[in-house]
Amino acid sequence: MEASEKPQLPLDQGPDQGDGVVRALDGRLVIERLTVSDERAARVVRERAEAGQQPARTVSDAIEIGARVLDREDVGAEVDYVRAEFERASGEARSQLIEQSRGVVEEIQRQFERAFSAEGGSLGRAFGEFEDGLAEQIAAHFGADRSTAVQHQIKEQVSKLVEERLQSLIRHFASDDAANPFADAKRAISQAVAESTRRQEARVQAVAEALQRVETSVVQLTAETEAKRAITEAEDAGTRKGRSFEERVHAAIGRIAEARGDCAHHVGDERGQGGSKKGDTVVEIGAGDGKPLGRIVFEDKDDQLSRNRAWEELNAAMAERDADFAVLVVAGEENIPARREQLVEYEGNKMIVAVDSELPDELGLDLVYRYARLRVLTARDRSLEVDAAGVRDAAEAARSALKRAQGVRLALTNVDKSSAKAREGIEGIVADVEAELGRIEGLVAAAG
């Protein structure tokens, strides 16, 4: 094997063979039995070995880094020498340049003094010759007191140009042409303003209408409140409790009585001959044409009474008002006393009829009124030569018709499918009742 042509480092043997051998072969170092006594180096190798790095690799890196540091120190010494030499040479060159520059500056200064000297410089003389003419030209073209001065002309031209540009811009942006960049924005704004105005007007109109409705409602509520308050006060006034229903019934009885020449008196607030206020309406039969032929008393109740209490009320009313017949008028069928029926004569001088609490049924009242009136007339005037058998038959037929009317009324409330037929039936029955009552009235009139 041929030996390498590169110089080789001879074997390095120290005074003691135990210090190790270092050989430089080409680009390599071969170290044998070398001991490095350095605490830091030993610690670094040990720590990196614990971290997993081979000790040989750590020593190799340390030698490479140290070699580079040593090499840079040698180069740095050479650079310091070169720098010192350069600074010395540049100092000499700077001194020479300063001396040469000083001479050039002094020469230039002498030349300027000759040219611009006020005592006889060439440029001074030249400027002196044109000084007067130049001042005149400046005064002519730039004098502030002359209207033709350049600055005035410039100002006039600039003002004119600005005005023209402004008018052009105004025309451009005011047009609806597509070239106007604000045309779409103008249209959009105009439409938005118009739509906003329309909506605002609509809202104002809606608010006005709402306020009008509220005002109307307030007026109505106020009127209703006042009416209810008046009714409540009236109903809470002791003896006038239930007066509203009582007044409505009395109005219906008054119309029926007036049609027959009788007189109806509202006596609910008046004390009778016994000192009580029993009885609400008293009808004087025939009082419109002369002396009364008899009396009927009506007791109105908008709540349910027991059978015994109802009879007590009717008997007391007849006694207090000196009446021959008593009628109990109740608000609705649900207020009929227990085990009693409406449109049925009891004890020869009592009858019950149910009416609507708000709109008293004048038909039912009319039937009861006419029946009670005839019973009073026939019972009062025993001397009348009346066809007793005919009256008796007619009365029985009327009572029978009234009972059938009651049955039909019950059928109307319970049988929806038969309502039309039931109404036809009750109309026929009512006609029969009126016919029988008319026959009785005819017999009584013939006897008189």
Note the pLDDT tens digit of each residue in 107-132: 787 777 776 666 666 666 666 666 66
Q: How many structural domains compose the chain? A: 4
Q: Is the same domain home to 207 and 311?
A: no
Work out the average pLDDT over 91-96. Answer: 76
Which has more pLDDT, 208 or 298?
298
Q: Does residue 355 belong to any structural domain of this protein?
A: yes
Q: Report the C-alpha gap between 232 and 219 in whole angstroms.
A: 19
Task: Note the pLDDT tens digit of each residue in 129-146.
Answer: 666 666 667 666 666 666
Q: Which of 71, 99, 134 is the last residue of a domain?
A: 134
Asked if 299 and 280 sit in the same domain, the reply is yes
263 lies in the same domain as 355:
yes
Full residue range of the structural domain in which residue 274 is found: 241-380
What separation in angstroms does the CA of 147 have from each of 135, 159, 161, 243, 312? Answer: 18, 15, 19, 108, 128
Q: Is residue 140 part of a domain?
A: no
Supply the pLDDT for residue 181.
Answer: 66
- For residues 255 and 376, state if they share a domain: yes
Residue 17, domain member (yes or no): no
The CB-based long-range contact list for 387-393 (8 Å cut-off, 24+ gap) reads 387/443, 387/446, 387/447, 390/439, 390/440, 390/443, 391/440, 391/443, 391/444
pLDDT at 20 over 80: no
> Mean pLDDT throughout 298-323?
92
Does residue 409 register a pLDDT over 70?
Answer: no
249 vs 414 pLDDT, higher one:
249
Residues 404, 328: one domain? Answer: no
Query: Does a structural domain hold residue 142?
Result: no
- Indicate whether 413 belongs to any domain: yes
Which of residues 406 and 153 earns the better pLDDT score?
153
Amino acid 235: pLDDT: 53
Q: Is the pLDDT of residue 245 over 90?
A: no
Of how many residues is the chain composed?
448
Question: What six digits make up the tokens of 209?
Answer: 């209408």
| 119 and 100 belong to one structural domain | yes
Verify that 207 and 255 share a domain, yes or no: no
* % of the chain surpassing 90 pLDDT: 14
pLDDT higher than threshold 90 for residue 7: no
CA dist., res. 128 & res. 118, Å (int): 10
* pTM, 2 dp: 0.41
Asked if residue 175 and residue 115 are part of one domain, the reply reads no
Residue 270: CATH number of its domain: 3.40.1350
Residue 321 lies in a domain: yes
Determine how β-strand 28-32 pairs with β-strand 325-331: unpaired
Do 364 and 399 lie in a common domain?
Answer: no
Q: Which of 236, 260, 285 is the last residue of a domain?
A: 236
Residue that is last in its domain, among 210, 236, 262: 236
User: Are 332 and 288 within one domain?
Assistant: yes
In DSSP terms, which residues pair with 36 in a beta bridge?
none
**Residue 24 maps to a domain:** no
pLDDT exceeds cutoff 70 at 182: no
Q: How far apart are CA 243 and CA 239, in angstroms?
A: 8
**Same domain (yes/no): 100, 226:** no
Contact 283, 257 (CB under 8 A): yes
Over residues 147-151, the mean pLDDT reads 68
Decide if 334 is inside a domain: yes
Q: How far apart are CA 387 and CA 148, in angstroms?
A: 143
Model pLDDT, residue 188? 77
pLDDT at 160: 84
DSSP-derived pairing of the beta strands 294-301 and 325-331: parallel
Across the range 293-314, mean pLDDT stands at 92
Whole-number Å distance between alpha carbons of 401 and 404? 5
Please say if the pLDDT value at position 281 is more than 90.
yes
Give yes or no: residues 267 and 343 share one domain. yes
Where is pLDDT greater, at 401 or 305?
Answer: 305
